[in-house]
Chains A and B, each alone.
Chain A
């Protein structure tokens, strides 16, 4: 493997890792709300969360660009106030990954919470535990295998993210080029077949491992149904 390939693999892993770490609290919170709370606009919220899963990732990237690009009101304000920028940089890579992989994590975590019998939470409440303590001592540990499975799945999705990334972050080698983008770029370069194949095999292996891990954790969750 060349230094360039290792650099790209490292950037891909770093992006997926940071995006996953940021996804966890958001997805746990949203998954919990979707599983347990009675909300008036739950269907709307669900549609909003799931949208990036059904629209082409390019569209997601384009919408993000429209909302957070330097020419947009939000993007301009964020840049002027905090100096934050979400286009053609590492932050854009992470953001694109996060938005695209979030629905997968939320869905998985939501069903993990739904599998926890609310009677356990009621039992904890009758034992004097306030709602937050019940969440951390009962709901979260009981749903943990499902949560981990969702997180692993979203990590795997981040690794392969292409459409939204290329739209929002571009395809700049050394800055925003990930494995998927490098494969795409090198496919068009004659003589790069071996390099493409190495990256393809690396991607497949990593994804298979992630899905296997996710399956293993979700199977662990089954004892809760008793």
Chain B
């Protein structure tokens, strides 16, 4: 998708908002603190709020152009929205909520049965929204937005009010949706870690305007908004293919290619079934879980020892953030100044990233043969 907001300006209750950016990619995260203007950006994109000036263009469709007097109303934009409060219609059952938008679309790219199966909604169909838990309401809201066959899905704070395990579940659902149906996602959140588990393409909003757009690490390294974005809040995300499960050691091997480096993670129970082998997997590793060494180490409990070349070093506060290219896998390690001097870390230096198999979190297991998102 390509979404551009050109010189978009509006004011609500005497607060002025201005947005100017272009997003290109499959999943975008919008990050900012509360009250920074994230939700208003979402409302401008879906058409609930009308800007005073500027342009909003999605792919080839002009949603809004103040000069040409174009304003496509929200019901004609085909932009699915999952609100923070969900707003499931209280007088309708879950089944009626889900099919609410179906009569306004002629497309059937996303089928009812697919959505029900994907989001595990079957047991909820006859219930009223008031009888559902927060996580269930969230899934229904996502399903309802999907069934109107949206060209893009906006999610406002999808992780708020959810505990850790529910958050992981929602992240997994969103990645499934993106990969199965190829729908671009725009996720608004004040929780950077959760955004990063989904995407590294982010927009930073502060004081009702967009401060930066692009790759998270690039924004952090360039220190564009250093008070908001630091590598401290970064999490390494790696997408690899499951290669093997060693039942005796209870460990999984992941790699990009057969000859490339292998990453090991403990078994979360997900890969005991052989059918899971060969699947693409998204893994997360915190930078402070990765130690650096000048050489591999035999007598050590750390299972992952990946050799790499230092590409970038960023000094921030009391830490150094060292980016290494480990045979195609890019990893950031957080080390102390003492370690930096001891190892004489410089760009181009060859070092070994050491981390425990336990430090690798399996974020999502992709399905085989899925459609690649645009």
| Nearest CB in chain A: distance from B96 CB, A | 10
Is B90 interfacial (CB-CB < 8 Å)? yes
Instruction: Given A123-B81, A226-B130, check contact A138 B101 (CB 8 Å).
Output: no
Nearest 7 Cβ contacts at the A-B interface: A128-B104, A127-B101, A123-B87, A125-B74, A126-B81, A125-B75, A128-B101
The contact of B85 among A119, A129, A138, A224, by CB within 8 Å, is A119
Binding site for B on A (CB under 8 A): 117, 119-120, 122-131, 133-134, 137-138, 141-142, 223-224, 226
Chain B residues positioned under 8 Å from A127 (CB to CB)? 75, 80, 100-101, 104, 144-145, 148
| Contacts across chains A and B counted by CB atoms under 8 Å | 65
State in angstroms the CA–CA spacing of A226 and B91 once bound together: 12
| Nearest CB in chain B: distance from A131 CB, A | 8
The B136-160 residues at the A interface (CB cut-off 8 A) are 144-145, 148
| Contact flags B77-94 to A (C-beta < 8 A → 1, else 0) | 111110101010111000
Secondary structure class of chain A's binding surface, majority of residues: helix
Q: A119-B83, A126-B80, A129-B100 are in contact. List 13 more A-B contacts (CB 8 A).
A: A117-B87, A123-B89, A125-B74, A127-B101, A127-B144, A128-B101, A129-B75, A130-B104, A131-B75, A134-B75, A142-B91, A223-B90, A224-B90
Show 22 residue pairs from A and B whose CB-CB distance is below 8 angstroms, ordered by the A residue: A119-B87, A120-B87, A120-B89, A122-B74, A122-B87, A125-B73, A125-B74, A126-B75, A126-B77, A126-B80, A126-B145, A127-B80, A127-B101, A127-B104, A127-B145, A128-B78, A128-B104, A131-B75, A134-B75, A138-B89, A142-B91, A224-B90
Instruction: Given A119-B87, A138-B89, A226-B90, check contact A126 B48 (CB 8 Å).
Output: yes
The contact of B100 among A117, A122, A124, A130, by CB within 8 Å, is A124
| Nearest CB in chain B: distance from A147 CB, A | 13
In this complex, how many residues of chain B approach chain A with their Cβ under 8 Å: the count is: 26
Assess whether A122 is in contact with B104, with CB atoms less than 8 Å apart: no
Q: Which residue of B lies closest to A122 (CB)?
A: B48
| Nearest CB in chain A: distance from B107 CB, A | 11
| Nearest CB in chain B: distance from A70 CB, A | 49
The contact of B104 among A119, A129, A226, by CB within 8 Å, is A129
The B19-74 residues at the A interface (CB cut-off 8 A) are 46-48, 73-74
